[in-house]
Structures are given as C-alpha cells and as structure tokens.
Amino acid sequence: MECRPLGFLIGLPFAFVALLISMVGAAVWLLGSLVSCVCPCCICCVALADLAICLVKLPVDIIRWFIDLIPC
C-alpha cells in the first residue's frame, strides 16, 4: 500500500461518522447475540449480527476507499 496522507485527511471526517455508525453496529451485535442465546431458533438474529459486523468494519473500509481514490 502506498503512502497517501492527503487521502487519509480527506477521508477522516467520513470515517468519524462511520465510527459512530460502527458503535451502533456493536450495540446491535450485542443485542442480537443476547437474543440468539435466549432463543436460538430466531434466524433473524443471525442476519442482524451479520449487518452489525459490517457496520463495525465500516470505518476501516471508508478510510481505505478514500486512500485508494487519491492519485499520487
């Protein structure tokens, strides 16, 4: 990976918003895990957990996306 500090700085505000969304994702994941432990027959909790994991990974994906968009 090449060093592109400008892409990092431009993507930082969007990554901050994504970080807030990832916190929501972590809360959803925790809630889905608790519900699936109580009632393992709930298949919708698995989908919620997958969505929450995607939300938690979002800040890193956004930063990488912005860094890749910036030319040298």
Q: Specify the amino acid at residue 18.
A: A
Region of residue 52 (phi > 0: left; psi between -120 and 50: alpha; otherwise: beta): alpha
Residue 1 C-alpha from the chain's centroid: 21
Does this model's pTM top 0.75? no
Q: Per-residue pLDDT for 20 more than 80?
A: yes
Mean of the pLDDT values across residues 13-38? 79
CB 58 within 8 A of CB 16: no
So what's the pLDDT on residue 43?
67
Model pLDDT for residues 44-71, shown as the tens digit of each residue: 667 777 777 777 787 778 778 877 777 7
